């Protein structure tokens, strides 16, 4: 497997990549040798997405290896993820809108044969655009694409194939091992000019040829213009919910989700007497994405079980609320601690769970990493003002809770 599935493997990948995280990264990061070529970037995104390793650990390791100046570009890229997550956290409506758009647009497809054909040709990698068709195969076979490829892919999808960005984002979300509600949705919105008003990304054949080391001819014509998508209204930021604190005196269970599989590496504020995770990740991901996420979750559960000396239980994913209530009752829990989940499906589930558990007299406490707590409120505007918070983030101990 090209991507780490366990924390041990992720830390080993980080160590192996560190010599390249300095000036080499700044110079070469946009080059993509393809699935068989030598990687110019860390390939850590699936691991970071589920927190096999955290942004704090990755950034601290890069700065330790190269100093802040040498690692600046790499650290900034890590912080792009934090920024997108913080930005969406304060505008959950953008996530809800995208989900509704996908349902609406898929229904509309049934009524427009021409559009439907173009959409299916794109997802089958049968557009006749050599790079695009190869990237579709790479995405489906490996669950990953290089950042510059993602930008070009999204641009060709929207401006050359004239397909809606929402459906492209859904295609990525289904397959990407690192699929992240924030980085994916906002990455696509950025390409069509919805994040930076009026600024779109136009894929260029010469750049694709160059950055792919000449693997692609890009003979088929690409769009010459990238007119911004009609602007939508971006809601004003809602400040992130306040941090919750666990009561160390309460009988506590630890619940691990696929959002953060390394909670046990942090100093827990209460000693758990029971440990659980769901039986798997929900939704309708591609089989490879599901297998990888399940493997990472299993690794997190094993590590927590070992560290806490508890026998883990897996709760039925299909009936998560009742399974959780029964688990809490079996262990006479008064409090369940779990990782805070940013906007996305896990947060939606925790939001449903919390009041039901409260009705049973059980507190659901979402622990937030200090990195998120400091960063999210800074993501009110663009990335450039956000960058000012990076030194503060780097000063935090990587294993800190808010």
What DSSP string runs through 72-101?
HHHHHHHHHHHHHHHHHHT-HHHHHHHHHH
Give the residue closest to ligand FAD by C-beta.
187
Helices 320-330 and 345-359: angle between axes, nearest 10 degrees = 50
Q: Tell which one of 13, 50, 51, 84 touches ligand FAD (CB under 6 A).
A: 84
* Least distance between ligand FAD and beta carbon 27 (Å): 13
Please tell me whether residue 157 binds ligand FAD under the rule CB under 6 A: no
Task: Give 3-state DSSP helix, strand, coil % of the chain, rounded to 5.
Answer: 55, 5, 40
Please tell me whether residue 152 binds ligand FAD under the rule CB under 6 A: no
Size of the site for ligand FAD (CB under 6 A): 28
Which range of residues in 94-102, 185-193, 346-354, 357-365 is near ligand FAD by CB under 6 A? Answer: 185-193
Site for ligand FAD in 354-393 (CB under 6 A): none
Site for ligand FAD in 130-149 (CB under 6 A): 146-147
Q: Which residues pair with 363 in a beta bridge?
A: 335
- For 152, the token pair is 């070009």
**H-type helices in 273-397, by residue range?**
287-308, 320-330, 345-359, 370-375, 383-387, 390-394
Place of tokens 């994405």: 289
Cβ-contact 253, 276 below 8 angstroms: yes
Largest CA distance in the chain: 67
Q: Tell which one of 32, 77, 259, 299 touches ligand FAD (CB under 6 A).
A: 77
Buried b (16+ CB within 10 A) or exposed e, 115-126: beebbebbbebe
Please tell me whether residue 183 binds ligand FAD under the rule CB under 6 A: yes
Q: Is 44 annotated as a binding residue?
A: yes
Residue with smaller CB distance to ligand FAD, 151 or 161: 151
Please tell me whether residue 151 binds ligand FAD under the rule CB under 6 A: yes
Q: Is 279 annotated as a binding residue?
A: no
Binding interface with ligand FAD (CB under 6 A): 29, 41-45, 48-49, 77-78, 80-81, 84, 146-147, 150-151, 154, 172, 176, 178-180, 183-184, 187-188, 191
């Amino acid at each position: 497997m090209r991507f780490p599935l366990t924390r041990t493997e992720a830390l080993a990948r980080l160590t192996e990549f560190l010599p390249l995280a300095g000036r080499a990264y700044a110079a070469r990061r946009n080059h993509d040798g393809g699935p068989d070529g030598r990687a110019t970037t860390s390939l850590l995104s699936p691991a970071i997405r589920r927190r096999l390793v955290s942004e704090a650990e990755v950034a601290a390791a890069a700065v330790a290896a190269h100093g802040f100046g040498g690692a600046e570009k790499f650290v900034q890229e890590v912080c792009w993820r934090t920024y997108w997550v913080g930005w969406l956290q304060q505008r959950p409506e953008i996530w809800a809108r995208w989900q509704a758009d996908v349902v609406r647009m898929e229904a509309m497809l049934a009524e427009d044969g021409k559009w439907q054909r173009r959409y299916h040709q794109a997802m089958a990698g049968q557009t006749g655009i050599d790079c695009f068709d190869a990237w579709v195969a790479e995405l489906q076979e490996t669950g990953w694409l290089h950042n510059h490829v993602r930008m070009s892919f999204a641009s060709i999808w929207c401006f050359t194939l004239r397909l809606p960005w929402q459906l492209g984002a859904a295609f990525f979300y289904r397959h990407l091992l690192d699929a992240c509600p924030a980085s994916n949705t906002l990455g696509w919105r950025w390409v069509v000019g919805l994040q930076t008003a009026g600024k779109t990304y136009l894929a260029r054949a010469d750049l694709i040829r160059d950055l792919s080391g000449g693997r692609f001819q890009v003979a088929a014509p690409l769009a010459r213009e990238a007119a911004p998508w009609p602007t939508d209204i971006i809601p004003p930021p809602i400040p992130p919910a306040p941090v919750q604190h666990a009561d160390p005196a309460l009988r506590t269970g630890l619940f691990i989700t696929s959002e953060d599989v390394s909670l046990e590496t942090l100093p827990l504020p209460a000693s758990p007497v029971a440990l659980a995770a769901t039986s798997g990740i929900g939704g309708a991901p591609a089989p490879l994405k599901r297998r990888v996420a399940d493997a990472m979750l299993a690794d997190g559960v094993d590590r927590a079980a070992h560290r806490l000396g508890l026998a883990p239980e897996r709760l039925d994913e299909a009936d998560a609320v009742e399974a959780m209530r029964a688990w809490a009752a079996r262990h006479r829990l008064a409090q369940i601690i779990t990782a805070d989940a940013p906007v996305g499906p896990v947060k939606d589930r925790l939001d449903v769970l919390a009041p039901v558990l409260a009705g049973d007299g059980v507190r659901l406490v979402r622990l937030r990493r200090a990195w998120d707590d400091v960063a999210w409120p800074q993501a009110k505007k663009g990335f450039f003002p956000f960058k000012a918070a990076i030194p503060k983030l780097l000063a935090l101990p990587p294993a800190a809770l808010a």
